[in-house]
A and B are shown apart, each in its own frame.
Chain A
Amino acid sequence: MHDRGYIVSASSLSDHIPDLDLITYYAETRQTCFSKVSPWTKFSLLILIVLLVTLTRDVIILTALYCIVLLAYAGARLPVRTLFAWYALPVIFVLSLAGIMAWNEPGNAVISFSIAGIPFVLTDNGIMLIVILLLKALIVVTYSMFFLMTTRYQHFSAMIYRIFPSPIDQIFLMAYRFLFLTLAMIGSILKAVHSRGGGLIHSIRMQGRLFADIFALVFIRSFDRSERVHKAMIARGFSGSYGTAAEVPGLRMSEYLLVGVSAALVLAVALITPRFGG
């Protein structure tokens, strides 16, 4: 699918894995008020949000924060249904951890049973723990997607170049484009496999072998490609580092105010949270 010169992948690897092409498409083409907000403002708010979800366990604050970031995401005209599909991975991650931790939490029993004489009790506090951890994960995921999908890549890469020391910035700047190429390569290998009837589940053993073969092929091709890219860089005098030319738009007065108020709110939550002496 083409739109204003951008190609949106017709089929991503899975509906439940964030699609890099789609994220970049929205970042480069969507023009809403959120796209005009300085990337530094969005980055500062990301730090504050991470701080806030680390500090608080208050379900009301977390629910309110989740609603705010989800509204911002929808307000930026980003695809909400796609976001819910992308929640699959963080939800599985949280459930795999909290699903174990939640059992036998002190509180009022909701479900209880025993296996081989070992009692298992799921209490109201256990359920609350799952809800809180899920909310925390989804807030960060939603805001991160909002940040990525409303910030042009040239600004994003320029921020990375300014924030991180070398060689982390160099690795990031090169990895991004390489990631696109590798994903395209995997996509074409999978197409070739499907076009000859492969990829259908015949047996777990066969499926495992197929994925191992694809992984090995992608690894070898990526290695080969990285050698060619390096050669092309040497041909233009590469001596170990390179930068990016883009300027990141600065904060406006209203944005300073927004960040200041947000920081004050986080500080207030920190002060009223028992662990931090409130």
Chain B
Amino acid sequence: MHHDKERELIHVDCASHIYPDGSVGIHDMCFFVQKNEIVALCGPNGSGKSTLIEHLNGLLTPSKGNIAVNGRSITTEEHTDLWREVGLVFQRSDDQLFAPTVLDDVMFGPRNMGMSPDAAKAAAMEALKAVGAEDLVDKLPNYLSGGQKRLVSIAGVLAMKPHIIALDEPTSDLDPVHSGMVEHLMVDLKERFGMSVVIATHDLDLAARVADRICLVRQGSVFAEGVPDEIFYDEVLLQETGLKPPQIVQMYLAYCQTLGIIADHHPITIEEMMEVIRSNTTGQS
């Protein structure tokens, strides 16, 4: 994919992070996020995806290298309000929802931004509506389902209107219905709200469906990057990263093997797979 410097929102330049216990979180990590794109950081557990995401919001600062958000370096300049530009949705919603009610929790970010209570409430209501959770406004977070908690967590970040939203394992532990809702929401954040979305996941099926660009992360650095069909059809690359191809890819390769045809298409969604099958069937008849 073409790297357009003018569209660049985040630039991670050879950043490394070593935790106090000496373990390496990221190592010589080079990564970028452009305006209005969905980037998936894919890698096995412990590969450094979450550590990188925490750097994007300023929760962690690199021990070496540089990170720039909107052209401002977070390591050399006073950039303490990074949380206004990059919203983080954590893997465990129970860690994120701490306030007595859903409304209080979603208003938390806008209030920290200095909004008046009325403006913060309006922003919170708007965000809850955007994620389809406006009916949960008076509920206690303790009584929400896992999927509802995840939607409210996203609303809590969306209410701050950041330029970029980073989600750590956004669909882990969710039922298929809520998983689908979160998936649509990520696409909505890009298409309706014009945001850039970064997702850290080891669910390659999810990444195949929503991402514009894939970065394979291994041992704390980006090992390979490219558009989904390019990355997901490179079995050797995936194997070296410790991942398996998405199910659609596996299915297509098995389909081609069964029919004895060359796998010259690269479908990565159900729709694309159906199109390939349809064209093959039409060609045979």
Contact = CB atoms under 8 A, between A and B. Distances in A.
Partners in one complex: yes
Interface of A: 5-7, 24, 28, 153-154, 157, 173-174, 176-178, 180-181, 225, 228-229, 231-239, 242-246
A243 B100 CA distance: 10
A196 to B, nearest CB: 24
Contacts of B92: 228
Contact of B140 (A24, A174, A225, A244): A24
Contacts of A157: 100-101, 104
A225 B90 CA distance: 13
Given A228-B90, A245-B107, A235 B83 contact: yes
Contact of A235 (B59, B94, B100, B113): B59
B138 A245 contact: no
A237 B98 contact: no
B95 A229 contact: yes
B198 to A, nearest CB: 14
B103 interface: yes
Interface string B151-164: 00000110010000
Contacts of A238: 108, 112
Given A173-B100, A180-B142, A228-B95, A235 B88 contact: yes
A244 B99 contact: yes
B228 interface: no
Given A157-B104, A245-B103, A245-B120, 4 more contacts: A154-B100, A177-B100, A177-B141, A244-B100
A233 B95 CA distance: 9
B99 A153 contact: no
* Most chain B CB atoms below 10 A, which of A177, A228, A234: A177
Contacts of A6: 143
Nearest to B135: A5
Given A28-B140, A242-B111, A176 B100 contact: yes
7 contacts: A6-B143, A180-B142, A232-B88, A233-B108, A235-B59, A244-B99, A245-B120
